[in-house]
Chains A and B, each alone.
Chain A
Amino acid sequence: MATVRIPPVLRPQTGGQPEIEAVGSNVGEVLRALTTDHPATAEQLFGEDGDLNRYVNVYLNDEDVRVLDGLETGVKDGDTVVILPAMAGG
């Protein structure tokens, strides 16, 4: 079981929840579990090709999954997956 931290812009799609528990052995499975429970998050996380959208940063704990194994990066119990979009507010 991993904890997925939901950014403010995605919270309307998760019923306002800032954190969601999700099961999966790797980052892709955890995110798919999230999109299964909250389908409205799917199109904002994944492109039509099934890959993460380029404008969505995903971190396993404090490391960007782009420098790990991407969606294949293994997830252990207690890990945190952080979804992070760029923000431009000033």
Chain B
Amino acid sequence: MANGADTKVKAPVEEIEPFEAAQEIEGGDVILIDTREPHEYQEAHLENGKLVPPGLLGDEIATAAPDKSARTIIYCRSGNRSYKAAEQMERLGYTDVASMAGGILAWQEQGLPVVSASGMTAEQRDRYSRHTLLPEVGVDGQLKMLNAKVLLIGAGGLGAPTALYLAAAGIGTLGLVDDDVVDASNLQRQVIHNTERIGVPKTESARLTIEALNPDVDVIEHRIRLNAENILGIIEDYDVIVDGADNFPTRYLLNDASVRLRKPVVSASILSFDGQISTFVPFEGPCYRCLYPTPPPPELAPSCSTNGVLGVMAGTMGLLQANEVLKLVLGIGEPLIGRLLLFEALSTRFTELKVRRDPECPICGPDAPQIPESEMGQFPDYDLFCAG
């Protein structure tokens, strides 16, 4: 009796055909595990298949499939490695595991769909391999980034580091709005420019740096200052907007236009040793005016050119902006919606504050008047409004 459990003949691993697996997967509630090597996974895998290489199964399976009683289908290239992996999982206590017979080869022979890296060139598969290895990104996510259009307002203290990292990440289209030229005093923080480019328009300098960094990125230069007449036409072509403007009129103008066109805005601001950042997704969370209904008077709103700014702090905030953009593009993680993050460089302290939608917000509140098509593009005089 005492040895009963040990003497019981172990049942063989359940094997299912690809068409059966496809039916189960379509029905939902199935954990799908791909037990091959990362380079094989990158070439092609089943949608939602989670990569757990055979050598790492003992360490990683609990993360990929935390519920040991959940229905789990495991596959590999031809069905051998997945069979052994399924046996190992059963020894670990998994109770409902099936190995897919014939693996992904049989699956593809039957014309069933895979997520393949075919949308990327060999160079791109290499360049973005550290992204595509991340289950949260993968080939699908990298293709989303390559197809994304992101507009940066300002190619300065915030825009420079944001643009560099978004370009490196493979955001396919980067729009840059700035009407300034590179000045020597910019170079302590605006790392996308360099000494040889002093006097060159910032959008052009940024484009040259980005093109050298990543030829996949299409840079669109908007060498202008945003105003009520041009803003809608510029932002309508983009998926995500990054606000690194250096003045209040542009920040309020951008907010009102982006709410109207329902464009998400990642908004940061910097001064001295301090930075703030939040992500405004219209009607999903608050807007900039919910947070700041009225701009402060000039004596409470000094600029970096009068008060100074720590270059490293600008870089920190710029990269937090890039992080927000990537999450919005990929649809992963928790963007800073309804949250304002403060960074104090001197104390190295982060503080998070709640930001609520203002029921009386004149721009995104429930009573905000629906502005008719004929009045699109008509904005109040922001310069006057902010001066007052």
Q: When chains A and B are docked, how far (Å) is the Cα of A88 from the Cα of B273? A: 14
Find out whether the CB atom of B356 lies under 8 angstroms from the CB atom of A89.
no
Alpha-carbon distance between A67 and B304 when the two chains are bound, in angstroms: 31
- A62 adjacent to chain B (CB < 8 Å): yes
**B344 to chain A: which residues have CB within 8 Å?**
18
Which listed residue, B156, B295, B351, touches A55 by the CB 8 Å rule? B295
Assess the A89–B354 pair: CB atoms within 8 A: no
Residues of B within 8 A of A9 (CB): 271, 300-302
The answer to whether B269 and A90 touch across the interface, beta carbons within 8 angstroms, is: yes
A10 CA / B349 CA spacing, docked (Å): 19
Most buried by B among A84, A88, A89: A89
Interfacial residues, chain B to chain A (CB-CB below 8 A): 153-154, 156-159, 243-248, 251, 268-274, 276, 291-297, 299-304, 307, 309, 340, 342, 344, 346-347, 351-356, 358
The answer to whether A89 touches B157, judged by C-beta atoms less than 8 angstroms apart, is yes
Q: Does A21 contact B (CB under 8 A)?
A: no
Which residues of chain A are within 8 angstroms of B269 by Cβ–Cβ distance? 86-90
Q: A8-B272, A87-B301, A88-B251 are known contacts. Are A62 and B352 too (CB-CB below 8 A)? A: yes
| B294, A54: Cβ atoms closer than 8 Å | yes
Interface residues of A in 5-38 (CB under 8 A from B): 7-10, 18
Q: Would A57 and B274 count as touching, CB distance under 8 A?
A: no
The complex places the Cα of A57 from the Cα of B292 at a distance, in Å, of 8
Q: Give 1 or 0 for each of A50-64: 1 = CB within 8 Å of chain B CB.
A: 000011110100111
A82 CB within 8 Å of chain B: yes
Bound together, the chains give a CA A64 to CA B270 distance in angstroms of: 21
Q: Are B351's CB and A82's CB within 8 A?
A: yes
Q: Is the CB of B303 within 8 A of A64?
A: no
Known pairs A88-B301, A89-B271; list 12 more (Cβ under 8 Å).
A8-B272, A9-B301, A55-B293, A55-B295, A55-B300, A62-B353, A64-B353, A86-B248, A88-B245, A88-B251, A90-B153, A90-B245
